């Protein structure tokens, strides 16, 4: 029985092989469909988003409430929806859900991520009597946006982040993921962008009031020498904030105002110059003709 089955199988194989061969002869296409390219779904977003400013040590007595991160969308056409994104650093507990619920970033524009749970307010009576501010907690998110706007301006594209991770004043590592699934218990390898900043070595030292900003839009945010301490009227248009909430001190930064576009390399300038000369030369030839 087993022998006869083997014979039948053998005959079938020979028959099928013959069919394929003859099909090729008469021109039928038995080629396997082309393999689909494996595309990294977040690759385009990775190439669009960069971190352009970090306020990790503001001059406030509730430091983390006044921190912010400026991000920039380099795409010329795509608006990125930030709802469902995750922002976290590498210390403390991992998050149990996405912490950005709404917000978007238009092409060639900025978004400023901030702590949705700021800020404590002065107690009016105590302040009147003693001229001091006592932090009084207010409901989460109730006035956070209003206070950021009061401090920096109403036109900025502020995006609230819940469960904000305090940005350590001596350096920290933070990232942005495009979904909670990608976050994968704080897997920085999956992050769209992440920066491991410092306040010494190659990085600018901080002055407990000014943010740091990227030298230009194409600079690598993980290289310390590509960052500058903000100052009033700097390349990013830095300015001094207004006192707001319990913070009667002012900070210096440029939230919403991006760093300059990259300066062309000298080689590019030479090529542009040669191109210009070429056009001039052709123009002269035409004039002579
Ligand atoms: Ca801080
Ligand atoms: Ca501080
Ligand atoms: Ca931290
Ligand atoms: Ca800025």
Residue 60 has a pLDDT of 80
Residues 6+ apart with CB under 8 A from 25: none
Please tell me the distance between residue 213's alpha carbon and the centre of ligand 4 in angstroms.
6
- Contact yes or no for 80/105 (Cβ under 8 A): yes
pLDDT tens for 114-147 read 999 865 544 444 444 444 444 444 444 448 899 9
Residue tagged 């020979």 (tokens)? 14
Please tell me the distance between residue 195's alpha carbon and the centre of ligand 1 in angstroms.
15
Question: What is the rounded average pLDDT of the residues 237-241?
Answer: 97
Please tell me the distance between residue 69's alpha carbon and the centre of ligand 4 in angstroms.
9
Please tell me the distance between residue 36's alpha carbon and the centre of ligand 3 in angstroms.
41
- Contact yes or no for 138/116 (Cβ under 8 A): no
Residue 132 has a pLDDT of 43
| The two structure tokens encoding residue 250 | 């002012």
In the chain, the percentage of residues whose pLDDT exceeds 90 is 59
- What mean pLDDT, rounded, does the chain reach? 80
In the chain, the percentage of residues whose pLDDT exceeds 70 is 67
Please tell me the distance between residue 147's alpha carbon and the centre of ligand 2 in angstroms.
17
Q: Which has the minimum average pLDDT: 84-98, 153-167, 270-284?
A: 270-284
Please tell me the distance between residue 215's alpha carbon and the centre of ligand 4 in angstroms.
10
What residue ranges do the domains of the chain occupy?
1-31, 43-253
| The two structure tokens encoding residue 87 | 């922002």
Residues 6+ apart with CB under 8 A from 72: 49, 50, 51, 52, 105, 108, 109, 110, 217, 258
Integer Cα distance of 161 and 73 in angstroms: 18
Please tell me the distance between residue 5's alpha carbon and the centre of ligand 3 in angstroms.
70
Please tell me the distance between residue 167's alpha carbon and the centre of ligand 3 in angstroms.
4
Measured from the alpha carbon of residue 69, the closest ligand is 4
Measured from the alpha carbon of residue 54, the closest ligand is 4
pLDDT tens for 2-54 read 555 444 444 444 444 444 444 444 444 556 666 666 555 566 777 899 999 99
Residue 30 has a pLDDT of 52
Query: Is the pLDDT score of 180 beyond 50?
Result: yes
pLDDT tens for 253-277 read 999 999 999 877 776 556 666 665 5
Residue 62 has a pLDDT of 81
Residue 31 has a pLDDT of 61
| The two structure tokens encoding residue 6 | 């083997």
CA atoms within a 13 Å half-sphere pointing along the CA-CB vector of 233: 0
């Amino acid at each position: 029985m087993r022998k006869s089955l083997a014979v039948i199988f053998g005959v079938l194989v020979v028959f099928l092989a013959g069919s394929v061969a003859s099909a090729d002869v008469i021109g039928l296409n038995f080629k396997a469909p082309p393999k689909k390219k494996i595309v990294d779904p977040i690759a385009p977003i990775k190439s669009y988003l960069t971190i352009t400013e970090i306020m990790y040590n503001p001059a406030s007595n509730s430091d983390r409430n006044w921190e912010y991160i400026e991000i920039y969308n380099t795409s010329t056409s795509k608006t990125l929806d930030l709802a469902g994104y995750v922002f976290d650093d590498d210390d403390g507990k991992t998050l149990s859900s996405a912490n950005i619920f709404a917000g978007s970033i238009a092409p060639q524009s900025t978004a400023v991520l901030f702590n949705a749970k700021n800020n404590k307010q002065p107690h009016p009576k105590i302040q009147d009597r003693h001229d001091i501010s006592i932090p009084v907690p207010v409901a989460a998110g109730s006035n956070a946006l209003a206070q950021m706007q009061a401090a920096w301006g109403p036109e900025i594209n502020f995006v609230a982040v819940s469960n904000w991770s305090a940005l350590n004043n001596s350096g920290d590592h933070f990232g942005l993921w495009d979904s909670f699934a990608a976050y994968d218990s704080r897997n920085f390898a999956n992050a769209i962008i992440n920066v491991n900043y410092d306040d010494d070595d190659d990085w600018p030292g901080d002055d407990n009031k000014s943010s740091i900003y990227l030298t230009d839009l194409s600079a690598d945010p993980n290289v310390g020498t590509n960052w500058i301490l903000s100052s009033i009227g700097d390349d990013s248009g830095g300015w001094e904030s207004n006192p707001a909430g319990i913070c009667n001190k002012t900070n210096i930064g440029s939230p919403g105002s991006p760093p300059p576009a990259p300066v062309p390399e000298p080689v590019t300038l030479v090529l542009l110059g040669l191109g210009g000369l070429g056009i001039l030369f052709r123009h002269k030839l035409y004039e002579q003709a």
